[in-house]
A = this chain, B = another copy of it.
Amino acid sequence: MTTHSPPPARNAAAERAWGSLRQIVLGGNERRKEVVEALGMSFFRVKALRRIAREPVALRDLADELLTDRPYTTLVVADLAERGLVERTANPVDRRSKIVSVTAAGRAAAERAERILGAPPPALLALPEEDLAALDRITALLAGGPPHGPGR
């Protein structure tokens, strides 16, 4: 197999770009705290809520996607349920499993979080029209490539 050696200029550009990307997203990252304060729960729970709001999930799959174990997922979901943000319903096809879905209040909270996290930083809005368009196109390409999780 011809694994031709990596062109040095490309690598340099890619590394520089990657460094910038990390700084942009992780640098002024303090939106996490903002969301945590706004919703009054840990960021981990916000993450769980957002996932559930996207589409109902079995508890087991939720645990997998959150990269945590089933016991803790039970606890987190129970907490969200006590807050009236999610509810668990029995899965008709397999009565062992429970499907977790958002309530109206939960959807509202998730959208609130999404609004805070999804607000683009000022520097992005200040970008020249054509640069913004190019960035939009290229990042869509990058984000589209590797799908988040295995399709289930």
Contact = CB atoms under 8 A, between A and B. Distances in A.
Interface of A is mostly: helix
B143 A23 contact: yes
Contacts of A93: none
15 contacts: A10-B129, A11-B125, A13-B133, A14-B125, A14-B127, A15-B119, A15-B120, A17-B139, A17-B140, A18-B121, A20-B140, A20-B142, A21-B21, A24-B143, A123-B146
Nearest to A126: B145
Given A18-B118, A21-B25, A148-B27, A124 B142 contact: yes
A16 interface: yes
Interface residues of A, number: 46
Given A15-B120, A23-B148, A133-B13, A138 B143 contact: no
A60 B148 CA distance: 39
A120 B17 contact: yes
